[in-house]
Structure 1
């Protein structure tokens, strides 16, 4: 647009100058021109009589001529500059108006004509359009995720609630229900109530872990003790599927982190390993210090191999690897997403790989808190 404007300014300047010269030539041939010439002669030419030669002599008054020339040049420059400014301003205003109308169309489609007409704006406009399209795509995906969240959680909340209400109604309606069945129904209702509480907590997690910042309360954590405690908590679930956990932890490992949040990461990975691990399989947990002074924790389980295309999606919110899994064993698809958020808040990384029936989640964390 700048080069185009410069060209128009120069063209306008030449046109104005040419028009002015032509106008002066025409004026010179008229009565006004003759009168103006006579006035200039009286101002710039001095006449006197040379007695020696006996003739009248006329000479140019050069000081006056120089002053007159300077004044004329200044007036011409001011006049041409003023006209050029007005014409350029109107041209620029018109160009900006046309550009303002063209940009919205350009944002919707690839308009080569606009880039060719305004090459200086090409790259910035393309970048703005690409960023705009990317933002729209992200907004569309986030909106879809929100809809999926509502669908998933509404279904998951409804299922245990309906079951709990059904068993409680049985207890109220059948007064002479045998004690054994009454205890069984109460146990089922309590189980569904616990499940409902768990899903409600996950719903709150959606809000908590969507925040840009996560407050960490860090302190030194003995890694061996942490993993031992987490394994003990899973004993009933492990017994149910006849699974076992083997620990391979280097001695004297100490991690500076938020213990509750790191425990939640390990809890989510262990829960995932139990759910997807084969009956009677082994879950392996390994912890060691890397050469780069980072803590590496690996949680592996024996189960079905995760397809490569799904490995990149398992850390997304509300994503379920096995969509047919019952709500009794499955969560709302938040466990791994929350684990990722926590690990990133600790300046760490979490990855997954799955080959030949062995799935391994790897966490890398700084051992010492950054100051």
Structure 2
């Protein structure tokens, strides 16, 4: 139950409370009067007001029973609570007495006086129900005519104030009942207030304490904390948001620690990959300075090796610079509208001669008007790195490279596949990692920096695309890149294709 519904329910209880209290007071008064009567006590009318109250109670009880077909004896105790010496009550139907109680000597004389005075006759001449009441000194008279189911009833109530007698007993009983009612009402009000307060406050404080506990655990560094809240109320979104926050904080911390480990590994890899060609350059320079290369041919050989190692360093620095730009993102590499098929086709033709000299044969199939939003620099580097990777790791004299550009299922697809040796299955998922090479000894730095495929994956991700690496049968590696067509927004991820 929500807090809103709980508050509405408590307000309903508060609105019902006065009716319950009224019913309780009436029931208590009725019970007190019944106990008073059952104890043999009687009520004495000491004033006209008291007589009128007694008369109305008796009248209501008698005619209520008659209207519902009950016997008058059911409410006889109400009439018999009056003092039998000072009071006379009689009920007649068409002149016949159905019930009488009290001092008949005084009562019948009083009834006769009313009849002789013509009071009953005047009431009978009136249509409908009629009532006569008179208080004169110590004498009280009451006459009521009621027509029920076409039958005429007369109710007589006669009383006088007796000397040397009073209603001390009933006053004592009233005071006792009043104290009981007051104490019971106080307990009832306090109990209801306590229950409603606990009912509402419990639904508010319990989740607040749970949130406080969670915040304290977070402060202590426990990001695995999970809050429990089983009610569906206004606190549910807050508790759920807190759990999501703690989970994301934990995930962020784990990613940060993982990034820190990768950063350390990156620094170690950079140091290794830079040290190797630098060591070679230093050795050959010392050989030149020490005149180890004594002939022009040896000197030229030394210089060629130095140049080759310098090219390796230049390529490594260039790759690192591109990685840095991609980490900066769109500010450094803004996207533009490009025709992917036209771009790839032109780039292959511009570099075909050089790549063919290095042992590459191409089979290019591209569709026109496959438009995307991307970076020209990144796309050219993606194609160059994938083609260079196929050439660099070929095991035969010539490697066949197939390049396809097409539109498929609402996406732009670029596939580059070769018939080289492929990679071990367990290495497919790590090809996107910076400085990862299947050569664990890293002894062949001149064959690759280990950044090429990492740059491919990051570049595709930056252009909101996906990349998948998979081996071909019987051998070779296929790289499938998908990019959103221009005007379409796609969620991104990278997949090893295993």
TM-score above 0.5, yes or no = yes
Would you say 1:210 and 2:320 are equivalent positions?
A: no
Distance 2:406 2:479 in 1: 16
- Bigger fraction of residues in helix: 1
Distance 2:340 2:224 in 1: 58
Distance 2:342 2:485 in 1: 14
1:320 pairs with 423, 433, 437, which one?
437
SS in 1 for 2:327: coil
Distance 1:106 1:120 in 2: 25
Match of 1:290?
407
* 1:1-371 → structure 2 map (5 Å cutoff): 52-58=162-168, 59=171, 60=174, 72=186, 76=190, 120=230, 134-174=251-291, 177-211=294-328, 215-221=333-339, 223-224=341-342, 226-230=344-348, 232-233=350-351, 235-236=353-354, 238-240=356-358, 242-250=359-367, 256-324=373-441, 326-331=444-449, 333-355=450-472, 356-370=474-488
SS in 1 for 2:447: coil
Which has more radius of gyration?
2
Distance 2:349 2:429 in 1: 27
Instruction: Give the direction of change, closer, same or farther, for the CA distance of 1:53–1:336 in structure 2 (3 Å limit).
Output: farther
Please tell me whether the aligned partners of residues 285 and 297 of structure 1 are also in contact (alpha carbons under 8 angstroms).
no
C-alpha deviation, 1:225, in angstroms: 5.4
Q: How many residues align?
A: 316
SS in 1 for 2:379: helix
Distance 1:363 1:320 in 2: 21
TM-score normalised by structure 1 residue count: 0.66
C-alpha deviation, 1:357, in angstroms: 0.5
Instruction: Give the direction of change, closer, same or farther, for the CA distance of 1:289–1:84 in structure 2 (3 Å limit).
Output: closer
Please tell me whether the aligned partners of residues 374 and 463 of structure 2 are also in contact (alpha carbons under 8 angstroms).
yes
C-alpha deviation, 1:263, in angstroms: 0.5
CA deviation map 1:109-133 (0-9, x unaligned): 99xxx99xx6749x96987776666
Unaligned runs of 5+ in 2: 3-44, 48-159, 232-238, 490-498
Instruction: Give the direction of change, closer, same or farther, for the CA distance of 1:66–1:231 in structure 2 (3 Å limit).
Output: farther
Instruction: Identify the structure with bigger relative contact order (alpha carbons < 8 Å, sequence gap 6+).
Output: 1
C-alpha deviation, 1:233, in angstroms: 3.0
Distance 1:249 1:97 in 2: 58
Please tell me whether the aligned partners of residues 344 and 383 of structure 2 are also in contact (alpha carbons under 8 angstroms).
no
SS in 2 for 1:270: helix
Match of 1:16?
none
Match of 1:20?
none
TM-score normalised by structure 2 residue count: 0.51
Q: Aligned-pair RMSD on alpha carbons?
A: 4.8
Distance 1:276 1:161 in 2: 23
Instruction: Give the direction of change, closer, same or farther, for the CA distance of 1:83–1:348 in structure 2 (3 Å limit).
Output: closer
Please tell me whether the aligned partners of residues 319 and 334 of structure 1 are also in contact (alpha carbons under 8 angstroms).
yes
Please tell me whether the aligned partners of residues 223 and 255 of structure 1 are also in contact (alpha carbons under 8 angstroms).
no
Instruction: Give the direction of change, closer, same or farther, for the CA distance of 1:101–1:267 in structure 2 (3 Å limit).
Output: closer
